Amino acid sequence: MNSAPRLVILGRDGILNVYREDHVKEPHEWRTVPGALEAVARLNQDGWHVVVATNQAGIGRGMFDMASLNAVHAQMMKLLAAQGGRVDAVFFCPHAPEEHCDCRKPQPGMMHDIARRYGVDLRRVPMVGDTLRDLQAAQAAGCEPHLVLTGRAARLDEVQLARIVELVPDTRIHADLGAFADDLLHRAHPDAPDSGPGGLA
C-alpha cells in the first residue's frame, strides 16, 4: 500500500489571498479570498496535506525581502490556524522572469521539489491555480490541473476559458477554492452527502 501522503498543491496569490498587482509585501496587505482558509481546513480534516507553490518575483525585483515574505506567511499560518487549517510547507520561487530559472511557474521545478520532499507521485496530486501559467506548470509536472475563478482568472471570459482548456485539456474549473474542495471531497467519498455546491467542471 502506498504510504505517501494525500497531497494538494495550491498557488497562493489569487487562490488563498486576494491578488495584488504590486505584490503582498507585508502582513497587513494580506486579504483572504472568502472561504479559502475554511476550504483548506476541510481538506485537512479529511486527511489531505496542503502545500503552497508560489512565484514571488518581488524578491528578485527587490520589492521586498525574505524577512517580509516570512512575515506574510506567518500571518497566513495564523489565519489558517484560526480556521482549524494548516499548510504543511510553502515552496516559492524568488526569481524574476528574466532570470529564466527552472522553478518559476510555468516551469515544474517547485513541483518536482515537492514530490521529492513528500515521496508522492505527482500524477495523483491535484494542483490549483488562477492562471494559465499555473496550469501549464501542473501539466509539465504531471499534476491534475485545477483552475479557480478567483484572482486573475476572475477576469477571463468564456472564450478565454475555452482557450485555456484547449491548451491544458485536463483542466477542471471551479468557482473558488471552496468549490474545488467540495469536488475533491466528493470524488474521494462519492457516497457521502453533498457538503455544498461543486465545481463548474
The 10s digit of each residue's pLDDT in 3-53 is 789 999 999 999 999 999 999 999 999 999 999 999 999 999 999 999 999
Per-residue model confidence (pLDDT) at position 194: 57
Closest of 145, 182, 128, 171 to residue 10, by C-alpha: 128
Domains annotated on the chain, with CATH: 7-188 (3.40.50.1000)
3-class SS shares of the chain: helix, strand, coil, % to 5: 45, 15, 40
Short-list 5, 14, 6, 47, CA closest to 177: 14
> Three cell numbers at 50?
496542503
Burial 115-144 (b: 16+ CB within 10 A, else e): beebebebeebbbbbbbbbbbbbbbbbbbb
C-alpha cell at 152: 486573475
Rounded CA gap, 128 and 29, in Å?
22
Write the pLDDT tens digit of every residue in 61-86.
Answer: 999 999 999 999 999 999 999 999 99
Whole-model pTM: value is: 0.93
The pLDDT value given to residue 190: 87
Tens of pLDDT, residues 102-154: 999 999 999 999 999 999 999 999 999 999 999 999 999 999 999 999 999 99
pLDDT-derived band of residue 2, with 50, 70 and 90 as boundaries? low
For residue 199, pLDDT over 50 is answered with no
Q: Tell me the torsion sign for CA atoms 30, 35, 36, 42.
A: positive
Q: Which helix (H) or strand (E) holds 139?
A: helix 132-141
